[in-house]
Chains A and B, each alone.
Chain A
Amino acid sequence: MRRGLGIFVAVLVVVALGFAGWLYLGRNPLGFAGGSTVALASYQGATVTGAPTALAFADLVKRGEYLTHAADCQACHTAPGGAPFAGGFAFNMPFGTIYSTNITPDKETGIGNYSDAQFLAAMHRGIRADGEKLYPAMPYASYSLMTDADALAIKAYLFTLTPVKAPAKSNQLSWPFNQRGLIALWNVAFNPDERFRPNTGQSPQWNRGAYLAEAMGHCGECHTPRNFAFALDNHDKFAGALTAGWRAYNISSDKTSGIGDWSDADLYAYLATGHANGHGGAAGPMGEAADDSLSYLTPDDTHALVAYLRSIPARASDLPRTVTTAAPASYKEGATAQANMRGEKIFAGACASCHDWTGVSPVTGFATLTGVRAVNDPSATNVAQTVINGVSRKTADGKIFMPAFGGGYSDDDIAAVANYVTARFGAKGADLTAKDVAALKQQAAQQSKEAPNG
């Protein structure tokens, strides 16, 4: 009996240690690359941190501005319709709502009084100036890879902004998530607080890409699934996850469900403009990442990102292979009308004039549905979100606009049309209900703003 218990405890300890080890391995976003790493100071290759060479002679603020874009601070620190960087953007989490804070240099309500050390503590360790711990909705576990110099360049830029008086909104979190003390434990487990270490077995371009993706752009925060403790699980690095009601797709090298069979040119185009012909365009949070961050990167940096993404091991997720052939020209053929008459009629009225019954837009490549991953996602999460929130983006290639239907159409209608679109243009029709749509509306951060003009 006692023996049995002893074995049980031993097994438990081994399992627990194994689990801890597994978690530990999972927390390193760069672990997959193997090989050896060195401290930045001892790295022999070309510089992989900081602003790109084009800005090498620019002043600190200019470099800081570039890095602020690269780290995509603006998207999360700006409420819809609010002043940039003044915070107030709501993150609707399963356990409550967290608001981003004001990072303009206002002394009272912003970060105007932050010393360099205080700023670094926030960026690397998630500690506010008053010593209080930030929620990891602020991606400091990623930013901890950022060099001090880069973080302080960002600070220098932020301090040139016009101070905006915008007091923090109070978070609405349920117990125990409202206990900031618990974050200390989380930090011990999931934030190693180490700066980026170049990998000597990889090219300088790869290392630059890795720095941009991990320390700056924090791609994994959306694209990597999370473990039970809400920390990134890099065993499934970039294999896709549901974040804020939107699906961040698998961007590992898997050919079926990832980006393994995208060409370099397509990947480059997508990163540079948020749109690639034949693959569709970014909407929702990725649209914001494209507009506020990725589109500002220099071509070299974007190429570095492509090189880095190419190296992510393939991880299959449950997405079917994308259908790349157009649907029939007549509404009568293809996905049958009988199955979802409501969806078809709504599509006919509100959608067909731009997207066409074939899915290939007669108007603009931006509106082509054929080959778009969201349409091939049988959960229809992003299709529904796009219908609800619309798209309003400006890219180098032009304006991408789709009106938001969430305010005028019922949840039933939105479910019906999302089901119809995925059935007609994708691999498999979705099965959303009005309840699902209501839940998606809840999860999405905030309604995006519509264009002010026709």
Chain B
Amino acid sequence: MADAAFWLMALLTVASAVVVVHHDKLLYSAIALLFTFFGVAGLYIFLWADFLAAVQVVIYVGGILVLVIFGIMLTNKITTVNISHTSMQRGAGGLLVAFVLGSLGLMITKTPWLVQHAAEPDQTVATIGRLLMMDYLLPFEVASLLLLGALIGAATLSRREE
């Protein structure tokens, strides 16, 4: 049962990612990206990362995807009915990707992975909070500075010039 659910989630992720990279209409790609993000969030749950799955849905679907759709809407004239665009050199790109995928797959198959089995943790949120506030406090603060810089930079860049 859990296996079937996992493969269903993996199939949803991969199939919608194919639509994202291959559909001619940009808006359809964005909608497919929604399903990819949800599929990845589902895979996170299988990996016992419940907090990260929630963060994925809130930030990716609620934030980044909305930004992407805004970007599509703002960079196309409303009279252009099909918001489409072309892909170039699909053959060469496909060859490159096949090579990368082949070597990655070979690496995954050949490597003797060390797997340590451990019990499922009771809760992850408390541990993540403790790690963030103790071991990773400096990166945490730097990340907040980065977000502030990105906020100011994005607002300055997209402001209309007088």
- Chain B binds chain A: no
Chain B residues packing against A (C-beta within 8 Å) = none
Chain A residues packing against B (C-beta within 8 Å) = none
